[in-house]
Structure 1
Amino acid sequence: MNYYISDLHFCCASQLAGSGSGYDERDYKTLEEMHTDMLARWNRKVTNGDTVYILGDLSKRGKSEELIALVAQLKGHKILVHGNHDDLSDYRLRQLFEEVCNYKEITDNIRGNAYKLVLCHYPILFWNGQHRGNILLYGHTHRSPEDVFFQDCIKRLNERKDLHEEDQDFLAINVGCMQPYMNYEPQSLKELLEARGIEIPEKRKKEGNFR
């Protein structure tokens, strides 16, 4: 099983409720409480045979013994798509990931249906294969006016049917852990699509591609 998540921001007190930072105002009073809860949610769901794509901003910049110990406890094969806050200068942290990259294109499957995915920390207005049904998963913008603006741009693009090769909408999903449908834990593609009210067919007639 593949799972997706971004912007966990471990060790970042600015994400806590009452921090006054203007960020997520997560419903945690301390970093210890946040770490304990998010670790438990992750490990209740993910097995060591699963792959989790972390789409950036695992933590704040800088070395942290606490961060290394925390990431070491997260189950699954972890692939990090690099974000602007990620610092992997400490080899002990880097080696906890099977792969570190800035951008990735993969295929995921639901009920025998192949879905092409573009994975990036940053929202992209025009991504590879979007007019053929390829889905963008991204992070970075949290629950912010910038994300509302980006999703409005996607909506306006969908109104331009002359931009589509086929009759399917462009789809970009923010997998930031603070989103209501993420619930601070990795989500599968099936869960992400169902949260958007998208019906998953028994068998798709045609998949997107990366040509």
Structure 2
Amino acid sequence: MKYYISDLHLFHENAIKFDNRPFSSIPEMHDAILKNWNDRVTNGDYVYILGDISMRGKNEDLIAFVAKLKGRKVLVRGNHDDVSDYRYQQLFVEICDYKEIYDSIGKEKYGLVLCHYPIFSWKKMGRGKILLYGHTHESEEDRFYQQCLDQMQESDCRHVYNHKLRAYNVGCMLPYMNYTPRTLEEIMEQAGEGNETLKK
């Protein structure tokens, strides 16, 4: 199984305030993330973390926390990720800045582009490839980005062709993510449903 999530911002006090996260403290947030993660991910699953796990890659407590998260973790680096500590690097099966993979829902196969940052024009965007990204959290910036994609679609822009452009923000604070790694199927089904929260 493959799962996706981004922008955990572990050990980042200001993330609770800026994202209006429903936690009163860092330990409370960490407990929820750890439980949500390990209740569904097995050590055989892949979890693609699209950046910004934390701002402190050399933090002993961070290394200990990430080591408790189940699964084969792939880090697609974000602007806050410090991976200079060799011990921290060993917690991931891969660390990269950009990645292309395939995932399946039933018998349907999907090409995915994985990046921390929203991309205005990504590879084969008009040929069905899906972009998963983070960075913009739940913000006006993200809404503006999605509006741009809609306008590109409506304006019959080059590289759009006849496909609907599909780019999904997998920031953990979004209602359909709810601080839990999600499958591609869950993300595609729920991302467009506004404030509907996925059931665990």
TM-score above 0.5 = yes
In the alignment, residue 132 of structure 2 is paired with which amino acid? L
* 3-state SS of paired residue (2:103): strand
What pairs up with 1:85-124 in 2 under 5 angstroms?
A: 85-124=80-119
Q: State the partner residue of 2:141.
A: 146
Aligned CA distance change for structure 1 residues 70 and 161 (closer, same or farther; 3 Å): same
Structure showing greater Rg: 1
Matching of residue 60 in structure 1 with residue 55 in structure 2: yes
Contact 2:153 2:160 in 1 (8 A): no
The whole-number CA distance in structure 1 between the counterparts of 2:37 and 2:135 is 20
Identify which range, 92-101 or 161-170, moves more after superposition. 161-170
The whole-number CA distance in structure 1 between the counterparts of 2:119 and 2:192 is 22
TM (norm. structure 1) is 0.88
* 3-state SS of paired residue (1:93): helix
Q: What is the Cα deviation at residue 168 of structure 1?
A: 1.9
Structure 1 residues 104-140: Cα deviation after superposition (integer angstroms, max 9, x where no partner): 0001011111100000000001000001010000000
The whole-number CA distance in structure 2 between the counterparts of 1:32 and 1:150 is 33
* 1:155 paired residue among 147, 150, 171: 150
Q: Gapped runs of 5+ residues in structure 2?
A: 194-200
The whole-number CA distance in structure 2 between the counterparts of 1:87 and 1:165 is 35
The whole-number CA distance in structure 1 between the counterparts of 2:74 and 2:191 is 25
Q: What is the Cα deviation at residue 162 of structure 1?
A: 5.3
In the alignment, residue 141 of structure 2 is paired with which amino acid? E
Contact 2:53 2:81 in 1 (8 A): yes
Q: State the partner residue of 1:2.
A: 2
Q: What is the Cα deviation at residue 196 of structure 1?
A: 3.7
Structure 1 residues 65-115: Cα deviation after superposition (integer angstroms, max 9, x where no partner): 110111000000000000000001111111000000000000101111110
TM (norm. structure 2) is 0.92
* 1:76 paired residue among 65, 71, 79: 71
Q: What is the Cα deviation at residue 165 of structure 1?
A: 6.3
Matching of residue 192 in structure 1 with residue 187 in structure 2: yes
Aligned CA distance change for structure 1 residues 53 and 160 (closer, same or farther; 3 Å): same
Contact 2:152 2:160 in 1 (8 A): no
Q: State the partner residue of 2:21.
A: 26
The whole-number CA distance in structure 1 between the counterparts of 2:44 and 2:111 is 21
Aligned residues: 193
Percent identical: 55
